[in-house]
């Protein structure tokens, strides 16, 4: 089969969701055909799919015994839908988002049994995501026997960071054992960096601070298209507060929870990964829209703390690259929550960051005030498109 034409399928498996997207392989690169997402896997699944024009292809909810109970079953539903939509068109390759690549995986890789075994050893570093990534890989191999699969790593983009940015203040043998800052959301940052470079090569070659603010959230300092620092570290639990994750926390608090409060490590893990962040602080939800609508003092404090932490890290990221030419907001909160963006940017005038309130409220592509020293941009990220491009490149490389 020619590597220049055909369908590239992209799978992005989360803890309770499975995103899928289809791209037509062309000599110029992947062209989007459709995208879909199944949420609530194992509970009350909801599947939606749209074509490249945004038209709805599927919108289905399950509330009975026939609901897909796991990621393998969910992929089966998606595959059956694909069979009907593609009329026998063959799948050329399958690309997967894999959250943790560890020390060894710094570029997209063709998947074989040795790769899978290596990725399984990294499960403790990304317990919410890595197991589901692997389930997606195995399920895809079962549904598409013989079709090449490619793993694209969220940590890979950050391997350009220097030693000082990657290390912890521990004895060196811990670094040598792989205990270091890896950073995540790399596929999103890589896409944003490439897009900005395509739009404005001079800006893309400069100093960007990108805020990927969604249910998972982090920031990255990018200089000349390369990651120089990021807020996430050894795991995707570090950095700024997220939807349900605490972000950075004093290690002494964890020791206190275990030694003094008598919590087990499993209880602490559930608290920090699933019961903290915006959801835990607000007592409402991890959804910013619901938190803003609640209007309670507790909800207000959750948003205030979130904005404070993001604002602090914007300055830290700028310091790590000696300044800032543009601040870019992306992902669900970053792209849509204009009130949160306003909270974050309030007080950043000293960096040259000032918003235009009307453009910000309209979620415009550029929301900085006229004449501001630093451009503030809003861009939709496209991790699936980045995975499709990497998958095609790996396939053509042989």
Residue range(s) in the chain whose domain bears CATH number 3.30.420.40: 6-153, 201-378
Residues 6+ apart with CB under 8 A from 98: 105, 119, 130, 133, 137, 151, 152, 153, 154
Name the stretches of the chain with pLDDT < 50.
Answer: 1
- Indicate if 154 belongs to the active site: yes
Neighbouring C-alpha atoms within 13 Å toward the C-beta of 133: 28
Looking at residue 1, its pLDDT comes to: 47
Cα dihedral sign for 160, 163, 165, 171? positive
Tell me if the domain spanning 6-153 has CATH number 3.30.420.40. yes
The CATH code belonging to domain 201-378 is 3.30.420.40
Rounded Cα distance, 355 and 247, in Å: 26
Q: What is the mean pLDDT of the chain?
A: 91
Neighbours of 357 (CB within 10 A): 11
Nearest CA to 160 out of 320, 377, 312, 319 is that of 320
Q: Which of 154, 238, 325, 382 is catalytic?
A: 154
């Amino acid at each position: 089969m020619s590597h220049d034409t055909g369908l590239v399928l992209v799978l992005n498996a989360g803890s309770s969701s499975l995103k899928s997207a289809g791209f037509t392989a062309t000599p110029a690169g992947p062209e989007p055909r459709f995208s879909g997402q199944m949420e609530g896997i194992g509970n009350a699944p909801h599947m939606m799919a749209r074509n490249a024009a945004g038209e709805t292809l599927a919108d289905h909810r399950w509330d009975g015994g026939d609901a897909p109970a796991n990621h393998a079953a969910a992929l089966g539903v998606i595959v059956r839908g694909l069979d009907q939509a593609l009329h026998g068109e063959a799948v050329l390759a399958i690309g997967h988002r894999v959250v943790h690549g560890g020390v060894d995986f710094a570029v997209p890789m063709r998947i074989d049994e040795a790769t899978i075994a290596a990725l399984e050893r990294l499960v403790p570093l990304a317990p919410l995501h890595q197991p589901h990534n692997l389930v997606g890989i195995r399920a895809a191999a079962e549904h598409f026997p013989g079709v090449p699969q490619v793993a694209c790593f969220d940590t890979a983009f950050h391997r350009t960071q220097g030693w000082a940015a990657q290390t912890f203040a521990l004895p060196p043998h811990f670094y040598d054992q792989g205990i270091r800052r890896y950073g995540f959301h790399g596929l999103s940052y890589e896409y944003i960096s490439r897009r900005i470079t395509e739009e404005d090569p001079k800006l893309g070659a400069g100093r960007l601070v990108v805020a990927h603010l969604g249910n998972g959230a982090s920031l990255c300092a990018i200089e000349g298209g390369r990651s120089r620092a990021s807020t996430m570290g050894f795991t995707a639990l570090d950095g700024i507060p997220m939807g349900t994750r605490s972000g950075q926390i004093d290690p002494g608090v964890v020791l206190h929870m275990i030694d003094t409060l008598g919590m087990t490590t499993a209880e602490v893990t559930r608290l920090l990964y699933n019961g903290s962040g915006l959801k835990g602080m607000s007592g409402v939800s991890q959804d910013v829209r619901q938190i803003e609508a609640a209007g309670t003092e507790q909800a207000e404090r959750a948003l205030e703390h979130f904005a404070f932490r993001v604002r602090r890290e914007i300055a830290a990221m700028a310091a790590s690259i000696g300044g800032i030419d543009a601040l870019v907001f992306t992902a669900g909160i970053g792209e849509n929550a204009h009130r949160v963006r306003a909270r974050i940017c309030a007080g950043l005038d000293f960096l040259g960051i000032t918003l235009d309130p009307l453009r910000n409220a309209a979620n415009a592509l550029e929301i900085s005030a006229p004449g501001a020293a630093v451009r503030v941009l809003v861009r939709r990220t496209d991790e699936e498109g980045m995975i499709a491009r990497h998958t095609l490149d790996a396939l053509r490389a042989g």
